[in-house]
Amino acid sequence: MAISTNATSLYLLAIVPPEPVLGQVWALKQEVHARTGSRNAVRLRPHITLWPPVHRPVEFARQAAEVLAEFAASETEFTVGLQDFAWFGSRTLFISVNSPETLKNFNQRLAQWCRLHQLDIPLENRPFTPHMTLATRDLPADKVPELQKIFAGRNYAAQFSVQQLTLFEHRGTAWEVAAEFCLSGNN
Residue range 82-124, pLDDT digits in tens: 999 999 998 899 999 998 999 999 999 999 999 999 998 877 7
Q: For residue 187, is it within any domain?
A: no
pLDDT at 58: 85
Measured between alpha carbons, how far is 38 from 32 in angstroms, rounded to an integer? Answer: 7
Measured between alpha carbons, how far is 143 from 32 in angstroms, rounded to an integer? Answer: 10
Q: Which of 119, 102, 123 is nearest to 48 (CA)?
A: 102
Number of domains in the chain: 1
Give the three-class secondary structure for 78: strand
Its domain, for residue 164, covers 9-182
Q: For residue 74, is it within any domain?
A: yes
Q: For residue 56, is it within any domain?
A: yes
Q: For residue 3, is it within any domain?
A: no
Measured N-to-C along each axis, helices 144-152 and 21-36 cross at an angle, to the nearest 10 degrees, of: 150
Measured between alpha carbons, how far is 167 from 67 in angstroms, rounded to an integer? Answer: 12
**What is the per-residue pLDDT across 131-155, written as a single tens digit (0 to 9) for each?**
999 998 899 999 999 999 999 999 9
pLDDT at 6 over 70: no
Give the three-class secondary structure for 65: helix
Global pTM exceeds 0.85: yes
The residues near 49 (Cβ < 8 Å, ≥ 6 apart) are 12, 13, 14, 133
Q: Which of 57, 67, 72 is nearest to 8 (CA)?
A: 57
Average pLDDT, stretch 9-24?
96
Measured between alpha carbons, how far is 148 from 46 in angstroms, rounded to an integer? Answer: 20
In CATH, what number is assigned to the domain containing residue 127? 3.90.1140.10
State which amino acid sits at residue 175: W
Q: Tell me if 114 sits within 8 A of 124, measured CB to CB.
A: no
Q: For residue 136, is it within any domain?
A: yes
Q: For residue 2, is it within any domain?
A: no
Measured between alpha carbons, how far is 167 from 66 in angstroms, rounded to an integer? Answer: 12
